[in-house]
Structure formats: structure tokens, C-alpha cells
Structure 1
């Protein structure tokens, strides 16, 4: 290989890095604008791929006519960089437009989704179109002999895709954490300009004499049957990518790494497949290898549901960390992705002999359009209609049909049919059949009540030892009934009692409604239930009405199927109380709910005298994640206070950060609300119906740690630190937080409170609450004498009701060991 050829491969690699860095940042920005929903992700990816497809087709034809393809490539790459500079400016223009559209179209879901697609296309199509034109131009310069399109073109495609894998890994998994989103974007632009400069230098004095051109009668287009194969390859690959993300969700609890891991594995497989296909030229007939690849791919996809189910113990107790998540994605997705990756490069071989640019451009365009169709179909048709396992089998069946159609002879067709039929018989005739394989994992004593599958995953309702619960993707347990129901309802009462007259309230992450249902017992006139997963709303209304006070059917309730951040940023509604429920720190999109920008948007949505309560699962925090949230919250709500929903020490303690738009209410106002709730007689919970019990839930003013938290970097859209801190939370870090960091932090709030701090006159009760938590910790550690001493001191200070009734929804003191 000549030095010039190596240099062109280097340009292709850098170009691939730049393209996927752009995509990673654009996807993050669109999620911020549209919300972290499956529809938002699909809109962004569809717009990006549509631009690539149009660009590949358009500049493929240009490449077939120009004698200086590298000069044109340099101009195209520079143009993409310039248009990329304009994208952030357009996003700023979209903010007020989108808010207006949200108010107008939020109730018309289909129209609103279509509008999101249109907005995404308007922003991303121009730069993506130019990015799509880069590879056909490079191919025209790199492939010196049209007859070697399969080998040389496959090699170029492999290197370009390998660069894309590196760009994806950097843009999704690493750089936003290391240098921030703006710097990541600047790096993408720099890579584009570097590739352009290198290509321009390489092209000087090297005009293409159309040695790679076809005879004069060739119209430049690839044969239709190869375009169809390229389309089918793109459809299968992107459909498999969507389904693989869902399959891995059954192995691991999703984290911010999940999408990036699968994307990197897909791109690495495409690069490896292209290299293998290029190396096969002259050794194996491409048509025969193509047919074999299609048939083997069908067999592998038939078996993938069983392989996923068998692997579910691999991720037990894990949050999809970068290391084991990557291993699982390679083991499950590697074989089918690699085999499927042979298909497109083999069409290059079969298309050899025509003009390089138009043929490569046409095949890439067809492949990319297929990718759009596959991604959308998998997300919104297959998963909704067939479920996960049957969707994988359906894609496998499509590959099997393609293998038969692509057969060149009756003998080949019979052989491929035998292979596909044998694989189907082996899989479908056993208990591992996708038609019989369970998608919900049940524990001993569990009974599956209901389930629903869709683009957001598998939602199930399960009756078990501790009552009814809801799960998402086998790992994320949502709020439910059972032993802890009172604590969950208490989390709804506490913020509502802190407002003198809560008329309009919103619950973000309403889940089963166990917490939001508390609002039904208060003088609220409007209750907005905001939940991103539509299936959760439906199942909560049907199966949890007896524990959530039928809040979903309450005439005051409004069901909002939307990302919570997106709703609060775009709605014109003003709320007296906004309650954000528990979010697992490692789940995708959660970090955006803890950014300074989101907290500021919530504050803007509060009516005069309004408050915002963000509940945190202390049992899932590390010291770093908690301090990051607390510092960011305090920066927006300087008068913030901290409450508990219980007195757990080690099991499932909940911590609430409460921020007030204006001054905090007086102690007298709060106690009047508590007494009014008690007088209504609908709640039997000492901790929210007796002022003495209520103030034991108080922890203290967050400003007591202002000096310490001032040194903690804030979580912002530009520096989304929490995304990565949350994904790295380990079991050991969670245990250390509960044993050391949180108890010390909580007690320091009361100890360091200023005399004029909110509710300063009730800090003695807060200290008693901390003592109750200490007693629970001593019991867990088996230090019974010290526990009894702590309880003895408490008896002289707290109301008798606080310790008289054994209540496992309050503390481990009353749980069996």
C-alpha cells in the first residue's frame, strides 16, 4: 500500500471520528430540547441518517464527474464544520418556538411527535447531508481500479467505520465527562477541518483520470437488486441495534453507558465485517458468501432471545458498568452484528466495474435509508406489536427470506432454506422458543399480574412476598404497595404540608402513584402526573388504584406522558408544589434532572410562595453523587431545607431537598396544615398528622453546609458530571454513604444552622429524628445495649406515639432481623 493510500485511510478514519462526535452531541442537545424519550431519540437519529443518505446519493454522483474529488471532499468537510457551528444558534432559536408548540400540541401525541421529527430534520439535515457525501468522494480518490471496489472500497469503509466507533466511544462515553459538551463539539469541528486540510493537500497534483470509471454506457447506478440488499442490510442492522439495547436491559439496569456501548459494538462489528469482506475478494465468491451470511444471520437472531435469557444472571446486581456492559454487548450482539456486517461490503464487490463514486454513494444511501426504517420500525412497530423476543425472531425471519431471494440457483436456495429451517426448528421446538420464553423474571413466590412492552422497555406488575410492585426491564423496581407503602405516601404528604395552600401540584416521575396519591387528600385543584413511560400510567391506573387513592382517575388529575424536565421547561403552568420522585442515579437521562438548568426551570414554573421537593434514594447514592446534587440544588435554591420520609438507617432511606421560590413558610403555617390533615381523618400516620412527629422528619437547612458545598463542581448541561458519577456508583460506595457520609452530613445541618434559618425553632425535633436513625443503625450492627441507651434518651424527649407503635415503614427498629 502506497503512503498516499495510507494517508487517505487516515483521512477516512478522522472523518469517521468527527461524524460520530457530531452525532453524540446533537443527540444530547435534542434530548435536552425534546426530552429523553424514545421518540426524541428516533427523531434525532432519523434526521441524521436521512442527511447521510441524501448526501451519499448526491455527492456520489458528483464524485463520478469531478476530476478533483479530494478538493470537493475538503470543501464538503469544511462546509459541514461551518454548518455545525450554526447548529447551537438554531437550538437557541428553537427554545421559545418549542415551548409554544408544547402548549399547543402536547395533547395531540401523534402530531407532536411528527413536529419533533420536522424540527430535528430542519436542524440536522444540512450538516448531515454534507457528512454523508464524504465517503463517496474519498472512495473515488482511493479506489484506483473499479474492479477492486470490493477490496479497496471495503477497506476504506472499514477504516471510516472504525473511526466512527472511536468517535462514538469518545463522544458518548468519555469526553463529556472529561472536557464537557462544548469542548467535545469543538473537537469534532477541529477533526473535520483537519481531515479537510489533509485531503486538500493530498489532492494537489493528483487529478482523477477516471481510471475507476465505467464504460461510457454505464449510468453510474448500482443494480437494483444490490440496492435492495443494501437497504435490507441497513434495516436489519439498525433494528438489531434497537432490539439489542432492549435485550441488554434485561441483563443490566440501564445506565448512561448503555446506548454508547451498543453503538460502539455495532460500529466495531461493521468495521470488522467490512475488513473481512474486503479480504475475502478473490477467495470466496461474493454471491455465495452473501447468501451464507444472510442465512447464518437468521439462525443467530432466532437464538438471540434464548442467549439473552440465559445470560441474565451475568448482570445481577449490576448497573451496566462500562466493563461488564461492553463484555455482555460483545457476547450477545457481537456474532449477529459481525455476520450482518458482511452484507453491505459484499454488495461493493458485486457492484464492481461501474463508476466508483455513484455506486458507493447509491449503496450507502440505500443502506442508510434502510437503517432509518429499521430503527423506527423496531422502536414503534415491532416492540409495540410483537414484544422483544418475537421482534428478534421476526428480524431473523426477514434475513432468512432475504437469503432465499438472493439465491442464484435452485440448489443454493434449497441449501439455505434447509439451514434456516433447521435453526428455526431447533429453537422454536424447545422451551427456548421466542414464543414461549418469558420476558419477565420472577422471584420465588412471585406472580405476574400484567405486563406491557413498548419502545421504553418491558413494564410488569408483580404480586410478591412484600405486596404488589411494578418493574421496568427486570431491574428497575418502581413504587408499589407492600410494607413500605406508608413511607411512599409520606413522601407525598411532606412537601404538600410545607405549602400553606397547595392548589396546583405536579408529580414528576409519578410511577404507580403511591406518592402522588397523597395529593388526593389535600385541597389541590389540579394534580399533574408526569411520567415518561406511557405503559406505567396505564398499569398504575389499572392495578394500583387501591393504594394510590385512584389518583389517575381523579377528576383533578391530568395525565402527562412526557419527560419531566421537558414538561417543566416548556409548560406555561405555574405550580404551588412540584414533587420529583426517586430516580436511580445510574439510569439514562436522570442526570439531566439534577442539572442547574433544570432546577432553574422548575423555579421558573413555581407560583409565588411555591416550593420544589426533590426526593433522593439515599440507598443508591455515593458521597460524590449526593454532594453534586446538593451543591447544584443549593446554587438555585439558597433557602433549601432537607427532610426525611422515614428513619431508616441502611435499607431504603429517602431524603428530600426542598427549595422555596420565596421565603419558607412559618412554623405556625406548617403546623396548621398538619392539624388540618389530621382533622380530615383520612390519614393514619403519626408523622404527618402530629406536628411533633412531623418536625422529627426535618433534617435542617442545606445552607449549613454552604461553605463545604461551594467547592463541589455543579452539574450542568455543559458539564454533565452526574451522568458519569451516577453510572459509576458501586455497592461499596452506596454502603459507605449510608454508614458514614449521610449520617454525618445530616447531623451537621442541625448543628450548623444559623439562628434565622428556616424552621430554626424546631431543630431540637430534627436532632431527635437523627437520634432515631442512630438507634436503627445500632440495632442493625447488633449493638443492642447502645441502641437501648439511645432509645431511653429519646423516650424522655419525644411524644410517646413516636415509639409506641412498631412500624416497619418508619425504621429498621421494628423490622425482624
Structure 2
């Protein structure tokens, strides 16, 4: 990197026209001694180092904010898109403002850049406070204004702006200011700006990996945000250290340090159950949420945060009622509705199967499905669960039932990858993943997944797929049954009933081999298994396929959910908004 020329004579006139070097000379004194922000090569290297660290901090913020907002918005394709759009909008506005500021006559870009970094530190460190406001705002928007789903998703972007707009705008200002500082001649403009961009991008890569693999899993979201703020504070100090007038910065640095310590020491109020798009329908009002989710009403008896999500086991004191929180969703409980349903995921396909030697359970959750599979005369039960934290969480529901049985094996892997590499053909494959809201779960509801499951079934094997019927529209229920029917020749649909009433959970049974085709025989077999398990008042009712698929012409018009066109992933968030707004009863 070349130094700033000592005089006008050192600048090639052809390079000087409209170039930063010409601006530098104009910004200097009458003798052309250089601009007021002229820095030594060593000082400019400090700016580049600081800009790289700033990129790392920016991506730590982005990962942490996206993770935290996902607990409120849920990880839908719409939510992820709006959060990314909000982040990029701030960068765009900041780039425009930073460019105008950098070219403004009489300004000191070094001091400006240091001030911007300090501003990022302060606003970034304040984001945990603003993040606590978002759930209430989202809930009020949903329940008071009841906007159309697509309008609601647009409003989610505005809510994301509450957290992101100011800090991301400041982040966007850093690049034009750093470019102004580092550029010394038009001839080196490309190399200088390219080097800055490369340094910032490498820092961003490091920040993204560090947040996902180290900071959040080990220290948590809040500590990760504090760490990013500390980085911005260090960067501001580095840049001002390269300036000729660092004294003004000391007051601001001291204030930022106080803010770091203050936010680190203040315990922000937090409830055990996230008020997210996926849990909002459980509460009559925001006041009801606060009243029933505070520390006096429920207690977190176990929690772990890792790269996949935050997993909690929550208990109501004095009642023994426990439920499992995975990210933004309540994914199971030991209540009368949940436990029997997950047990039926093993018992119902077993009533159809010729034999039950080898069982594959997709999704561990509370562990009830795997525990029920072990009560069958199986020689092996394999459970595939992508989140390793679920292993300990399940023990709070089924005790040592799983760990104490040598037939059980847990595989921490993606279910589709496990099916591809498995060397076993299973007599039963039963699948109960999370709600099909996120891109990580959606592939477990597609035709390609069902084809993969079918390829791993033994002769006479049976596949069982859970569907959240209380969430899906009738159209989407029909689409999913039709999609399963694209792969399997024999399909049966059952609804779980508790105390004689359907609870909305739908179990789709599918196989290609000859099997029991008498629903009363199946009901009797299932009743015997439930009775042996001590589960009373629980059963399942077969629903005629015609209620879902209609006649031949209606079936021909049904959609198919595929990897290439995952319709369910885009429809379920809309249906969830409608359910929360009371347009459909859960």
C-alpha cells in the first residue's frame, strides 16, 4: 500500500481527476501536505484489521439476532426471509449515508469511523432489551389487528427493524468510511478497496463460524451479543489509536464500557416458555401469557442450548405436569393428550405389521414413542434425532427406560441421511418430526422422503407418518395423504381420540405388502397394547380415504408435496397465523 503523495506534483494528473487522491489533496492544506486524515502505513493496517474485526462482529450479531428472533417469529421461510431483508436493508441505507459522509468536505473519516463503531457497540449491546419487546408487539399485532397472513409477515420485517435497523445502518456506513481512509491514489483504488472488502469478508466468515460453533453453544445468545459489542469497542479504540486526536474518544469508550458491564450485570426478565408464533395460540391474552409463564407458575428444571436450538424441560410446580420446549415450539408433554399420541406412533403400525423385529423411530422428543417401541417384541429399536440435547431431555419424561434397554440405539443424525446409509431394513418406520414450519423439518414431509422410507422397509413392513391435523387445512391434509399414496399402494388414515373426542393428531399408515385390512381388528390390537401400557381412554378412529381424497377427478387435481416444490413449508406458516388469529380453531 503506497503512502499519500507529499505534493501535488507527485500525483498523476490523469489519475487525479475525480479520484480519492485528488480529494485528499483538496482536503489538505494549501501546500498539498496531505489530507487531515492522512495516516501512516502502520495506522492504515490498523484500520484494515479493525474493519476485519468489524465484519466478524456483524455476523455474530446477525446469527444471534436471527436465532433470537426465530424464537419469536418461528423459523418459517417467511420469517427467515424478512429477517435477512431487514438486515440487508440497514446495510444498504448505511452504505448510502456513509458514502455521503465520507465525501463531505471538512469531515474526518477516521473519527467518523471510530464513532460509527462505537455506535454499533452501544446499539448492539442494547439489542437484548429490544428483543424482549418483540414478543409482546407480535402478539398484539396478531390478536388485536388480525392482519392477513402475508401482511403479518411484512409486519414481522418491521418488528425486525426494531432490533436491527440502527446497528445495521451503522454497519453499512463502515465500508465507505474505511475506503476513504485507506485509499491514497486512484491507481491503487481497486487493490485498496478489494483488500478492505476481502478483510471484512474474512472477518464475517470467522464471525459466522464462531457464533454458530463456539459462542452460542458454549456461552449462549446474550453472551454472544456482548462479545460482539466488545469487538466493536476494541475496533473503535484501534481506529482512534491510528488518529492524531484520540482524546475525544475516551469519554465515549468509557461510556460503552459501562454499558457492557451494566447490561452484563442486569438480569433481564425472561419467561420459561417463548411467546412465539408457534405458542401464541395457547394463551388467551398477553397478560395470560405473563401470568402463566413466569417463574412462579412454571420452572425450567433442565435446559441446554446448542447449535441446533435451545431445549428446555419445564414443569408446573406441585402438579408434576412437564412439557418439552424446543426453540419456539412446545413439542410434547406428559399430559393426557400428548403421551398417548406418541405411544400410538409405535402401537398403530405394529398392529398392521407382520413382525416387529427392527423398528426405526424418527424424532426422539419426549421419548414416549421409542419407549413404546421397546414394549413391542422388537430385537432392536433405533431412534434418529438430529439434536443431541434431546437425549437428556427425554430422560425427564421416560426416566431410564431407553438407556436401560440394550436393544435401544440413538443416532444423532439427519433422518434422511441416516436412511440413505442404513444397512438395515426395518419392519416399522415411524416418523414424528416437529411441525413442518422450517426448512430443516420440511424435507421430512415430501414424496422423496417417503420414497426413501419405503426403500428401507422390510417385506411386510409398515410406515407411519404423523400429521398435525389441528394445524393443517383440509386441503393440505388431503395433499399429504395423496403424497404418501404416490409412494405406497395401501394407505390408511387414523385420528387419535382421547376420552372419545378427536385431538387433531393424524397418523397415516402406509405399506406395499398384503396386510390387515379390517379396522376393527386393528383397533382391538391397539387397545390391547394401550391397556398393557396402562393408557386408558385413548384410541384411534380410522377415517375413510374418500373424506380426504374424494373421487377420481378430485384426486387428480390434488397437489403433491415434493423437495423441488415444498408446498407444505409455505402453507403451514399461513395456516398457523390464521389459527393464532382465531380464524381457524386449533
Normalised-by-shorter TM-score class? 0.7 to 0.9
User: How many Å separate the matches in 2 of 1:429 and 1:686?
Assistant: 50
Deviation at 1:353, TM superposition (A): 2.1
Q: Which residue of 1 aligns with 2:459?
A: 608
Deviation at 1:578, TM superposition (A): 0.9
User: How many Å separate the matches in 1 of 2:551 and 2:428?
Assistant: 24
User: How many Å separate the matches in 2 of 1:391 and 1:326?
Assistant: 23
Q: Which residue of 2 aligns with 1:646?
A: 497
Decide whether aligned partners of structure 1 residues 686 and 658 sit closer, same or farther in structure 2, where only a CA change above 3 A counts.
same
* Equivalent residue for 1:269, pick from 90, 96, 105: 90
Decide whether aligned partners of structure 1 residues 372 and 339 sit closer, same or farther in structure 2, where only a CA change above 3 A counts.
same
Decide whether aligned partners of structure 1 residues 718 and 676 sit closer, same or farther in structure 2, where only a CA change above 3 A counts.
closer
Task: Map 1:182-197 onto structure 2 (within 5 A).
Answer: none
Task: Map 1:349-368 onto structure 2 (within 5 A).
Answer: 349-354=180-185, 355-368=188-201
Query: What TM-score, normalized to structure 2?
Result: 0.80
User: How many Å separate the matches in 2 of 1:309 and 1:517?
Assistant: 38
User: How many Å separate the matches in 1 of 2:500 and 2:86?
Assistant: 41
Q: Which residue of 1 aligns with 2:297?
A: 445
User: How many Å separate the matches in 1 of 2:323 and 2:341?
Assistant: 15
Other structure's SS at 1:342 match: helix
Task: Map 1:454-533 onto structure 2 (within 5 A).
Answer: 454-464=306-316, 467-473=321-327, 475-484=328-337, 485-533=339-387
Q: Which residue of 2 aligns with 1:700?
A: 544
Other structure's SS at 2:365 match: coil
Deviation at 1:668, TM superposition (A): 10
Deviation at 1:467, TM superposition (A): 0.8
Other structure's SS at 1:697 match: strand
**Structure 1: stretches of 5+ with no match in the other structure:** 1-59, 61-140, 151-219, 689-693, 740-817
Q: Does the CA-based 8 Å contact 1:307-1:332 persist in structure 2?
A: yes
Other structure's SS at 1:712 match: coil
Q: Does the CA-based 8 Å contact 2:435-2:468 persist in structure 1?
A: yes
Task: Map 1:289-688 onto structure 2 (within 5 A).
Answer: 289-316=112-139, 322-354=153-185, 355-407=188-240, 408=243, 409-428=245-264, 430-432=266-268, 441=274, 442-443=293-294, 445-464=297-316, 467-473=321-327, 475-484=328-337, 485-541=339-395, 543-546=396-399, 550-581=401-432, 583-646=434-497, 652-665=503-516, 667=518, 674=525, 682-685=532-535
Deviation at 1:675, TM superposition (A): 8.3
User: How many Å separate the matches in 2 of 1:628 and 1:591?
Assistant: 14
Q: Which residue of 2 aligns with 1:724?
A: 570
**Structure 2: stretches of 5+ with no match in the other structure:** 2-14, 25-40, 143-148, 275-292
Deviation at 1:545, TM superposition (A): 2.4
Deviation at 1:699, TM superposition (A): 2.1
Q: Which residue of 1 aligns with 2:52?
A: 231
Q: Which residue of 1 aligns with 2:145?
A: none
Q: Which residue of 1 aligns with 2:66?
A: 245
Other structure's SS at 2:557 match: coil
Q: Does the CA-based 8 Å contact 1:509-1:530 persist in structure 2?
A: yes
* Aligned alpha-carbon RMSD (Å): 3.3
Decide whether aligned partners of structure 1 residues 587 and 705 sit closer, same or farther in structure 2, where only a CA change above 3 A counts.
same
Q: Does the CA-based 8 Å contact 2:371-2:398 persist in structure 1?
A: no
Deviation at 1:259, TM superposition (A): 2.5
Q: Does the CA-based 8 Å contact 1:517-1:551 persist in structure 2?
A: yes
User: How many Å separate the matches in 1 of 2:139 and 2:133?
Assistant: 12
User: How many Å separate the matches in 2 of 1:598 and 1:675?
Assistant: 27
Other structure's SS at 2:368 match: coil
Other structure's SS at 1:663 match: coil
Decide whether aligned partners of structure 1 residues 145 and 476 sit closer, same or farther in structure 2, where only a CA change above 3 A counts.
same
Q: For 1:145-204, what per-residue CA distance to the aligned partner results, in whole angstroms no more than 9, with x for missing partners?
A: 243899xxxxxxxxxxxxxxxxxxxxxxxxxxxxxxxxxxxxxxxxxxxxxxxxxxxxxx
Query: What TM-score, normalized to structure 1?
Result: 0.58
User: How many Å separate the matches in 1 of 2:341 and 2:502?
Assistant: 12
Deviation at 1:311, TM superposition (A): 2.3
Deviation at 1:457, TM superposition (A): 2.1
Q: Which residue of 1 aligns with 2:101?
A: 280
User: How many Å separate the matches in 1 of 2:71 and 2:560?
Assistant: 33
User: How many Å separate the matches in 2 of 1:256 and 1:639?
Assistant: 33
User: How many Å separate the matches in 1 of 2:342 and 2:543?
Assistant: 18
Decide whether aligned partners of structure 1 residues 302 and 403 sit closer, same or farther in structure 2, where only a CA change above 3 A counts.
same
User: How many Å separate the matches in 2 of 1:248 and 1:616?
Assistant: 26
User: How many Å separate the matches in 1 of 2:423 and 2:433?
Assistant: 25
Q: Does the CA-based 8 Å contact 1:221-1:359 persist in structure 2?
A: no
Decide whether aligned partners of structure 1 residues 566 and 256 sit closer, same or farther in structure 2, where only a CA change above 3 A counts.
farther
Other structure's SS at 2:356 match: coil
Decide whether aligned partners of structure 1 residues 553 and 399 sit closer, same or farther in structure 2, where only a CA change above 3 A counts.
farther
